[in-house]
């Protein structure tokens, strides 16, 4: 049964009006519903501490939620629930007139910044509203650190970045604009010394080469590489001349190969004959820094504003066609090669042989259990 808004216990926002700083959560929790205001209890104390460490007192902040009601189990807000309470939030924004909004959690962040936003690349970064009315920042929820100690540094750093933004000490989000949205890739075939020299030696003493691999060590597909922004080259695993030339170059020219997840890439490169080079791993560096995502796509978007296609999106149609073709081939093979007796419906098989099978099975079980029962009888 659907709950009508009039039947819900709403938790309204609290704080000074007007107010420069607004913290927007996702949904009222059980403690908030009981005490009647947002961000109270353990998560509220964490919020107070994070803000105070950044130089902002809770009394100077207006706190509210995207969905004003509490539901048992704290489920994620649904689109219908967000639309239901949207007019309350709009009225709050008109009344409070904030200059800075902390978007706590992915649903609050997506409401303002779009449905494709993910917290792993956006948290702690400043954004400006389309009309320039206020600056916003996605923040991990204070309760996140309470549930997972490893997340505490992320939550803390988010709120410190937010407080710096409020104090005017935070930079802009210009780095989120991809400076090279249309990179050029070239598939290298028909090896020639002239082309190799132009790509590898026509530069001013490069010290880094960036590489990525596709496939596995057992079945490599190929590699891509670049020396800088805007261009890239692809070499297939079947092109032995190019692979041999690249292997000699990285081994004897003192360049450092930059990989992301070297544990995987080195094995694939070795299977293509490329080994014995110096390398560094950006995934390991991101792990050591603690505050950055380790996945290449969210890391690229967080640091460079690069939006990369998902692997499934790239191969989607081709993969669908291959699956359909495989099913057709399986159907044709079964129709032509499957033994006729195996095509008998299962229900008929059971009716024909079930009596004899049950009799044989019961005899086997009886022979097996009889000695077992004699040996396992307890001594009285």
- 18-32: pLDDT as tens digits: 999 999 999 988 888
Output the domain CATH number for residue 288. Answer: 3.30.420.10
CA distance linking residue 38 with residue 341, whole number of Å: 69
Of 254, 284, 304, the residue at which a domain comes to its end is 304
Domain check: are 159 and 205 in the same one? Answer: no
pLDDT at 98 over 80: yes
Q: Where residue 203 falls among pLDDT bands split at 50, 70, 90?
A: confident
What percent of the chain is helix, strand and coil (3-state, nearest 5)? Answer: 50, 15, 35
Q: Give the domain extent around 257.
A: 184-304
- For residues 25 and 141, is the Cβ–Cβ distance under 8 A? yes
Q: Is residue 288 domain-resident?
A: yes
User: Which is higher by pLDDT, 8 or 47?
Assistant: 47
Of 113, 143, 171, the residue at which a domain comes to its end is 171
Q: Where residue 380 falls among pLDDT bands split at 50, 70, 90?
A: very low
What predicted TM-score, i.e. pTM, was given to this entire model? Answer: 0.67
- Report residue 8: phi and psi, to 5°: -90, 150
CA nearest neighbour of 262 among 210, 310, 191: 210
Query: In this prediction, what percent of the chain has a pLDDT beyond 90?
Result: 51
CA distance linking residue 31 with residue 233, whole number of Å: 56
Q: Is residue 320 domain-resident?
A: no
Domain check: are 155 and 238 in the same one? Answer: no
Domain check: are 32 and 148 in the same one? Answer: yes
CA distances from 258 to 66, 84, 129, 266, 272 (A): 43, 49, 36, 11, 17
Q: Is residue 347 domain-resident?
A: no
CA angle 57, 63, 68 (to 5 degrees): 160
Q: What is the DSSP string of 199-222?
A: HHTSSS---EEEEEEEE-SSSEEE
Of 262, 281, 304, the residue at which a domain comes to its end is 304
User: Which is higher by pLDDT, 336 or 128?
Assistant: 128
CA distances from 179 to 122, 160, 301 (A): 18, 28, 12
pLDDT the model gives residue 341? 56
User: Which is higher by pLDDT, 238 or 298?
Assistant: 238
- For residues 245 and 224, is the Cβ–Cβ distance under 8 A? no
User: Which is higher by pLDDT, 368 or 33?
Assistant: 33
- Report residue 92: phi and psi, to 5°: -65, -45
Helix (H) / strand (E) containing 127: strand 127-128
pLDDT at 373 over 50: no
Helix (H) / strand (E) containing 225: strand 220-226
pLDDT in tens, 220-245: 999 999 998 889 999 999 999 999 99
pLDDT the model gives residue 377? 39
- Say if residue 45 is exposed, middle or buried (CB neighbours under 10 Å; 0-12, 13-18, 19+): middle
Which of 353-361's residues contact partners 24+ apart within 8 Å by CB, and which partners?
Answer: none
pLDDT the model gives residue 365? 45
Q: Where are the beta strands (DSSP E) in 237-376?
A: 256-259, 278-281
pLDDT in tens, 249-297: 999 998 999 999 999 999 999 999 999 999 999 999 988 877 788 888 8
Domain check: are 40 and 96 in the same one? Answer: yes
Beta bridge partners, 232, equal: 185
pLDDT the model gives residue 331? 81
Q: Where residue 298 falls among pLDDT bands split at 50, 70, 90?
A: confident
- For residues 210 and 225, is the Cβ–Cβ distance under 8 A? yes
pLDDT in tens, 206-226: 899 999 999 999 999 999 999
How many domains, the chain? 2
User: Which is higher by pLDDT, 298 or 140?
Assistant: 140
Domain check: are 94 and 49 in the same one? Answer: yes
Output the domain CATH number for residue 155. Answer: 3.40.470.10
* Residue pointed to by tokens 């001013």: 204
Mean model confidence pLDDT for the chain: 83
Domain check: are 102 and 12 in the same one? Answer: yes
């Amino acid at each position: 049964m659907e709950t009508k808004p009039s039947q819900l216990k709403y938790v309204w926002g609290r704080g000074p009006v007007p107010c420069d700083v607004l913290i927007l959560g996702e949904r009222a929790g059980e403690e908030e519903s009981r005490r009647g205001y947002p961000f109270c209890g353990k998560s509220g104390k964490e919020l107070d501490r994070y803000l105070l460490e950044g130089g902002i007192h809770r009394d100077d902040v207006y706190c509210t939620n995207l969905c004003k009601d509490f539901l048992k189990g704290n489920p994620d807000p649904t689109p219908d629930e967000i639309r239901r309470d949207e007019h309350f939030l709009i009225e709050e924004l008109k009344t409070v007139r904030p200059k800075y909004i902390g978007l706590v959690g992915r649903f609050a962040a997506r409401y303002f910044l779009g449905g494709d936003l993910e917290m792993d690349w956006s948290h702690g970064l400043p954004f400006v509203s389309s009309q320039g009315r206020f600056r916003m920042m996605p923040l991990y929820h204070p309760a996140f650190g309470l549930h997972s100690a490893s997340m505490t540094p992320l939550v803390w750093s988010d709120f410190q970045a937010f407080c710096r933004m409020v104090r005017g000490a935070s930079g802009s989000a210009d780095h989120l604009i991809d400076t090279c949205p249309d990179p050029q890739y070239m598939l290298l075939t028909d090896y020639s010394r002239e082309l190799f020299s132009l790509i590898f030696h026509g530069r001013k003493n490069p010290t880094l080469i960036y590489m990525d691999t596709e496939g596995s060590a057992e079945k490599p597909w190929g590699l891509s590489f670049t020396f800088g922004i805007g261009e890239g080259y692809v070499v297939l695993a079947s092109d032995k001349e190019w692979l041999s030339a690249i292997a000699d170059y990285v081994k004897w020219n003192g360049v450092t190969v930059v990989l992301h997840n070297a544990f995987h890439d080195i094995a694939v490169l070795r299977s293509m004959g490329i080994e014995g080079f110096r390398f560094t791993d950006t995934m390991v560096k991101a792990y050591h820094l603690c505050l950055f995502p380790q996945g290449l796509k969210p890391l690229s978007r967080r640091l460079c504003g690069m939006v990369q296609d998902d692997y499934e999106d790239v191969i989607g149609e081709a993969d669908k066609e291959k699956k359909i073709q495989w099913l057709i081939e399986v159907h044709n093979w079964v129709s032509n090669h499957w033994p006729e007796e195996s095509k008998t419906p299962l229900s008929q098989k059971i009716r024909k042989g079930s009596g004899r099978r049950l009799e044989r099975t019961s005899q086997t079980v009886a022979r097996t259990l009889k000695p077992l029962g004699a040996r396992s009888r307890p001594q009285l």
